[in-house]
């Protein structure tokens, strides 16, 4: 362990030295998200542009506890297939799983699972959890840690490329990748079962706005998590007994018109998984989307049904 800490300390010193020598482009004021993204080195990018918060990132969790110095010890910032390995601070792991409301009924999949901390923590909450990780050494490290933590049966790990893996059965997806990778995964995620929760350490999903964002008061580069709930697909025209609804859906937001008895009313509303709520003509509608049917109530009582 001493040897491991020395290497990490040395790597950090090197990184900081190099980082100090880096100049920032004048007249460029990066957005916060841009700054965060730029702080995460991509494969092939020299690690000197990256300032890993080695101390805070790795202190609270010891996935390598119990194995000897000869065994594999990953280094923060080491290359990965599409993104480097940086562990999510344990406080943010807990917060991400809280935001996703993970319970023992969930099947959690961490895409790019690193040392397994998200998977192991989810399993400790009773969930079934899978980590998909390209680096076989990290897979083995995570497996050992899961066994040591007593959750080896519920926390499993697969050596695979996330872009060639089927994660459609998950009820919760956790991510600590890059916005560019999240965007590549986004179409697949949007095809998942409505209500699937997706939590990401720091990185966004482009114009798919998070349903919730939480920032911890931690002195860490990685202290913000975003939550998205996969919305049901309602875009298009639905028949009513005495009219129709035309939804224009943009991720979890809906707009459009409701036509009843020849009267056309503008509508705006939201989707929360398979639950829809919108206002049209001064009335509040709520409903549940189930395949080709939406059924619910309006104004707190009267029922309505729409079909494709
Ligand atoms: C920033 S780390 C996050 C680790 C872990 N999810 C966490 O939050 O602590 C990203 C991980 O993704 C892995 N990775 C990168 N590209 C991958 C790919 N195409 N398929 C599977 N894993 C990948 C890296 O090896 C690394 O362990």
Residues 12 and 60 in one domain: yes
Contact predicate 247/83, CB 8 Å: no
d(CA 112, CA 175): 7
Ligand 1 centre from 306 Cα, in Å? Answer: 43
Residue 105 has pLDDT above 90, yes or no: yes
Q: What is the pLDDT of residues 221-249, one digit of tens each?
A: 899 999 999 999 999 999 999 999 999 99
Q: Please tell me the residue having the least CA distance from ligand 1 atom 23.
A: 112
Could you tell me if 179 and 276 lie in one domain?
Answer: no
Is the same domain home to 95 and 194?
A: yes
Residues 108 and 252 in one domain: no
Task: Extract the tokens encoding 76.
Answer: 């923060």
Where is the domain boundary, 229, 256, 272?
Answer: 229
The residues that bridge with 12 in the sheet, in sequence order, are: none
**Mutation to probe ligand 1, out of 57, 59, 60, 83 (largest number of atoms < 8 A from CB):** 83
Specify whether 215 is located in the same domain as 249: no
Q: Into how many domains does the chain fold?
A: 2
Instruction: Tell me the residue range of the domain where 113 lies.
Output: 2-229
pLDDT confidence tier of residue 39, bands split at 50, 70 and 90: low
Query: What's the token pair of residue 237?
Result: 């025209």
What pLDDT is attached to residue 153?
98
166 and 56, same structural domain?
yes
pLDDT at 229: 98
Q: How confident is the model at residue 71 (pLDDT cuts 50, 70, 90)?
A: confident
Are residues 288 and 160 both part of a single domain? Answer: no
Q: Specify whether 224 is located in the same domain as 243.
A: no
Q: Please tell me the residue having the least CA distance from ligand 1 atom 19.
A: 161
In this structure, what CATH number is given to the domain that contains residue 291?
2.40.128.30
250 with 276, same domain: the answer is: yes
Would you state the pLDDT for residue 46?
35
Q: Report angle CA 84, 19, 203 to the nearest 5 degrees.
A: 40
Write down the H helix ranges in the chain: 2-21, 32-39, 54-58, 90-99, 117-124, 136-148, 179-190
Task: List, for residues 86-96, the tens digit of each pLDDT value.
Answer: 999 999 999 99
In the three-class reduction of DSSP (H, G, I as helix; E, B as strand; rest coil), residue 179 is classed as: helix
Domain boundary among 213, 229, 245: 229
Q: What is the rounded distance in angstroms from the CA atom of residue 2 to the CA atom of residue 257?
A: 66
Ligand 1 pocket check: which of 41, 94, 109, 114 to mutate, most ligand atoms within 8 Å of Cβ?
A: 114
Q: Provide the whole-model pTM.
A: 0.83
Ligand 1 pocket list (CB less than 6 A): 80-83, 85-88, 110, 112-114, 117-118, 132-135, 138, 161-163, 176, 201
Q: Domain boundary at 200, 229, 258, which?
A: 229
pLDDT-derived band at 70 (thresholds 50, 70, 90) equals low
Task: Identify the residue whose C-alpha is closest to ligand 1 atom 11.
Answer: 112
Mutation choice for ligand 1 from 133, 155, 167, 202, CB with most ligand atoms inside 8 A: 133
């Amino acid at each position: 362990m001493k040897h491991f800490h020395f290497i990490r300390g040395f790597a950090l010193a090197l990184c900081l030295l190099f980082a100090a020598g880096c100049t920032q482009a004048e007249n460029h004021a990066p957005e916060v998200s841009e700054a965060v993204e730029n702080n995460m080195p991509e494969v092939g990018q020299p690690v000197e542009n990256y300032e890993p918060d080695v101390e805070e990132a790795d202190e609270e969790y010891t996935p390598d506890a119990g194995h000897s110095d000869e065994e594999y010890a990953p280094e923060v910032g080491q290359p990965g297939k599409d993104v480097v390995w940086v562990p999510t601070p344990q406080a943010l792991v807990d917060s991400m799983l809280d935001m996703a409301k993970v319970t023992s009924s969930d099947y959690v999949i961490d895409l790019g699972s690193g040392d397994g901390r998200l998977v192991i923590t989810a399993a400790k909450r009773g969930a079934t959890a899978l980590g998909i990780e390209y680096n076989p050494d990290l897979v083995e490290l995570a497996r050992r840690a899961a066994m040591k933590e007593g959750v080896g049966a519920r926390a499993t790990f697969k050596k695979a490329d996330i872009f060639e893996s089927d994660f459609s059965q998950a009820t919760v997806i956790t991510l600590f990748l890059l916005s560019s990778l999240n965007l590549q995964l986004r179409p697949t995620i949007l095809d998942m079962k409505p209500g699937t929760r997706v939590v990401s350490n720091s990185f966004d999903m482009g114009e798919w706005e998070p349903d919730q964002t939480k920032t911890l008061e931690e002195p860490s580069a990685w202290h913000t998590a975003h939550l998205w709930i996969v919305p049901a697909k309602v875009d298009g025209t639905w028949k009513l007994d005495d009219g129709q609804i035309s939804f224009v859906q943009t991720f979890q937001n809906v707009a459009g018109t409701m036509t009843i008895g020849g009267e056309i009313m503008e509508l705006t509303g939201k989707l929360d998984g398979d639950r829809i709520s919108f206002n049209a003509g001064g009335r509040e509608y709520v409903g549940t989307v189930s395949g080709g049917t939406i059924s619910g109530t309006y104004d707190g009582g009267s029922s309505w049904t729409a079909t494709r």
